[in-house]
Amino acid sequence: MELPQVQVLCTIHHQLMDIVDVLFVHKNNKFTGEAFCVLGYPLQVDFALQRNRQNMGRRYVEVFRSKRQEYYKAIANEVSDVRGGSPHRSIPRAKSHDEGKDSAVHTGILRLRGLPFSAGKDDIMDFFKDFVLSEDSIHITMNSDGRPTGEAFVEFANAEDSKAAMAKDRMTLGSRYIELFPSSHEEMDEALSRGR
């Protein structure tokens, strides 16, 4: 029962809703056909529920009100799945925590994964408020359609700062907790070139 992900987003955007996050649910590296959509205002949830059993392409889509706990559990399952070797993002995955994240070489660049799609550079600067960052040092990656991927790269002043910033690994930004990975100019340039 796989739903076309772009259509899901376009259908929601068509309603002019403030989307805080969209989380597509996977199992064994396959999309289950289910997704969580976090909206900005309670009234928008009521409008979204009016889309229940309406068609998307040739399929009708069921829309349910969900609890925060269910959404957080789905996030935890996604992260667990990724650690188990089933990444759902297009950018090559850095070493996971268990594969030596702590001992990785720092170049002054960190990759962030799990960002809310609505997150901007100011949100990332606030997340790293203990460090001196400029907007030019933050690079949010986009897919080929110009939509945020949920990942970003941050250039710190030096390798010592990026290593110290790893203390923020798995801390929350909005409703999502963010994974941090030591990265490099090469990985950053490759990821950013995909969205151009």
What CATH number is given to the structural domain containing 66? 3.30.70.330
Domain of residue 132, residue span: 97-194
Q: Kindly provide the b/e burial profile for residues 124-162, where b requires at least 16 CB atoms within 10 angstroms of the residue's own CB.
A: bbebbeebebeeebbbbbbeeeeebbbbbbbbbeeeebb
Over residues 67-93, the pLDDT tens digits come to: 888 887 888 777 666 555 544 443 333
Does 186 reside within a domain? yes
In a domain, 91, yes or no: no
* Total domain count, the chain: 2
Q: Tens digits of per-residue pLDDT, 114-138? A: 999 999 999 999 999 999 999 999 9
116 and 27 in a single domain? The answer is no
33 occurs within a structural domain: yes
Which stretch of 42-51, 110-119, 131-140 has the lowest confidence by average pLDDT?
42-51
Q: Are residues 180 and 127 in the same domain?
A: yes
Of the candidates 95, 50, 97, the one whose C-alpha atom is nearest the C-alpha of residue 187 is: 95
**167 & 116 share domain:** yes
- The answer as to whether 152 is a domain residue is yes
Q: With a threshold of 0.85, does the pTM exceed it?
A: no
User: Does the pLDDT at position 147 exceed 70?
Assistant: yes
* Same domain flag for 39 and 112: no
Same domain, 103 and 74: no
